[in-house]
Amino acid sequence: MPVPMSGRRANFPDPVQDAIAFGPRHSGVEVLPEPTLEPLDSCDSIARPAWSTNAACRDMGPDFFFPAGALGLARTTRVCTRCPVAEECLAAALDDPSLHGIWAGTSARERRRLRSEEGLGWG
């Protein structure tokens, strides 16, 4: 079916209306329900260091470790300053340069600077 033109831009049909009119209901295709997602805390298969069970952030979601903006960073840093295993966390983060996000209140950039100051390499 030709699409009517007005000026230089085409008047495209509404995709929602097309989906309703010509969608799976009319084509004999069965519509499957939305998949359910498991909660984030069901990652039991991930090997975690023993010290992490005492971490102040052990129940936090991924947004906590990748804060957006200064308020999120301040909240993360505040939790890290009172954490009983902050030293172990920082040591693990300094040992593994591939880790991203906030570890022991430090960003990846801050950890790179700490490694270079301590002569641990670029990592």
Residue range 11-55, pLDDT digits in tens: 555 555 554 555 445 555 565 566 555 555 545 545 778 888 999
SS3 category, 26: helix
**23 phi, psi to nearest 5 deg:** -75, -170
- Report yes or no on whether pTM surpasses 0.85: no
* Predicted confidence (pLDDT) at residue 84 exceeds the cutoff of 80: yes
Does any domain span residue 101? yes
Domain carrying residue 104 = 85-123
Does any domain span residue 113? yes
* Predicted confidence (pLDDT) at residue 89 exceeds the cutoff of 80: yes
Rounded Cα distance, 16 and 50, in Å: 51
Give the closest residue to 55 by CA, choosing from 98, 18, 92: 92
Does any domain span residue 19? no
Does any domain span residue 66? no
Does any domain span residue 77? no
**Structural domain count of the chain:** 1
Does any domain span residue 9? no
* Sign of torsion over alpha carbons 70, 56, 103, 86: positive
Does any domain span residue 91? yes
What is the radius of gyration, based on Cα positions, of the chain?
25
